[in-house]
Chain A
Amino acid sequence: MAYLELEGLSFTYPEAAQSALTDISLQIERGELVALLGATGSGKSTLLRLLKPELRQNGTIQGEVMLDGRSVDSLSSRESAGIGYVAQNPDEQLVTDKVWHELAFTLENLGAPREQIARRIAETSAFFDIDSLYSRDTATLSGGQKQLINLAAVMTADPELLLLDEPTAQLDPIAATRFIETVCRLNRELGLTVIVSEHRTEELFSLCDRVIVLEHGAVIYNGKPREIAERISSDSPYLSFLPAAARLFRLTGGRGEAPLSIREGQRYVSALKSRTTAAFDAPKPAQAEPALELKNVYFRYERNGSDILFDLSMSVNSGEVFALLGSNGAGKSTAAAVAAGLRKPLSGSVKLFGKRLKDYHDGSLYRGNLSLLPQDVESLFLCDTVREELKGCEEVLKDFPYDLSRLYDRHPYDLSGGERQLVALCKVLSTRPRVLLMDEPSKGLDGGMKRMLIELIKEFKAKGMTVVLISHDVEFAAMCADRCALFAQGGIAAVDTAERFFSDNRFYTTAASRMTRLIAHGAYTVERAARILGGDG
């Protein structure tokens, strides 16, 4: 008998016409690392929640979940705490104000004696390498650190099964990689059984033992990563679940075993070298007047604090899509707030269409000139329904390529991350801005939603709007930006056209560029690489 067995598991939310999960049967062996993939709303979260009794939502369950030969329903709440669960949002899962207290919290709840708590905290923080954070306030940590603390806190209870629900969705790529690597270590070194649902599969796909893909609440793929990579064809909607190497392989008509990692991808690409067509023509930098200009801007939050923005200068041309890239916590959002006139720089100037921000009087800056899509779109929602929320946005909705009317009667908080983003975008566009700043617009979105957003941004550009993306998502920026800037140490370390930016960067670049940089210049997205390598992409 397998360690975890699901037998004919179905689940229906109350008053829902369709079941969220239908007849799912799975066997997972002890020590397996399972990647659970699927679009938003495919039932990944629902499935994970059914495996842990306290997290089950209201609804009708059919079928059985057996853990180590016992039904999970029969677990006491203490035993059930031995099933670790980490969700998407790093902030909301923290309970206390200090890191040490957060680590102690789980064992405190289980009534463990002091000595055991001290020992387990010491062990865990050594394993996770978070010793230096021990006495910090949880509020001062970065998103990646918070998520590591959440994982470590769950691990103090010594679970045998770990359930992770999109744990890296809110993290920047570097923090996400570190998180996934830590999960892998838990699996490899401690033999922990892990089920992790994810949108970002670049590393996970080649590291996991098994991939399960859900569609509308049913399992459509279940097998070893290589088998799955073989079964997903180039026209499948699930192509975006594959890592870049496998995607490129499919798009260039590769046969047989698909490469999964960057290294394998490089090998595949160099075998195709002879097929390489001519390189891309470098796009002529269009002479445009600057829309948004920051000159020698300095900014700090506290009088005696360190500078968050240090000699920041950048110039965004009118009509282009400009991406400001950098890791989380580097100060990008602060840069956006200064550029949007929400924070006054300590010194330096910010100009919009050649006019200083402070010369836009009586709020004229935010009417028809500049708008900001904030990182937490929840900060925009005031009403109980989407309909009320979108009052005054009729103009925008008329030209909006996606129909939002089916969402009208729902509460903004009941929408998926992507849908919220679209509603927020409509609100922000209602002021008819000429320059739109978007702060981490791709955060937490699945592949389909990201493509939708990219199409929207391209359309904004076609209409002559200037778009500034503030993002840590390199792959996302590569798909839509004309020019990219690397934000570091409070200023701009490099700024270039997307083509040169991604091709010349060694570390801070896309998976496609890493695979192709030796044989072709400018193939920085999988689609461009496929085109150059003679595929049908």
Chain B
Amino acid sequence: MRPIRKRRLQLVLLLVAGVGITVGIALMALQQNLNLFYSPAQIVAGEVEQGVTIRAGGLVVPGSVERDPNSLMAEFEVTDYQGYVTIRYNGILPDLFAEGQGIIAIGELGEDMVVTADQVLAKHDEEYMPPELVKAIEEAGHPAGADQYSN
């Protein structure tokens, strides 16, 4: 490589590295603000202010869903296996809402440590399977479709 081209290559690499480091530092500083939701462990640990609108995310604990027979009111627990938080929601739950499913609730944390949600979103995972395969796996005695709640 000719010296002039080598110098230009160095300049290009320097530019990319410089911008990369700058953006990297900015992102590290903003780390917490870039998370879309708080995990139940963070809420239990008191990282969340009460009375402020937050997003709380976690897996719906199987068997914890209680629906009011006379209204749309539903109450359920979410977990990241390190903490449990109760969510109260008065509205239509998304189609993908199910026990064991990852969800994100947008609402306020009350003094009773219950999140009163204005909106519930379903998080889906990266796994896709045809229904027949799920049936076959379940018949073989393994739970299928159990969400891997990474993050």
A binds B: no
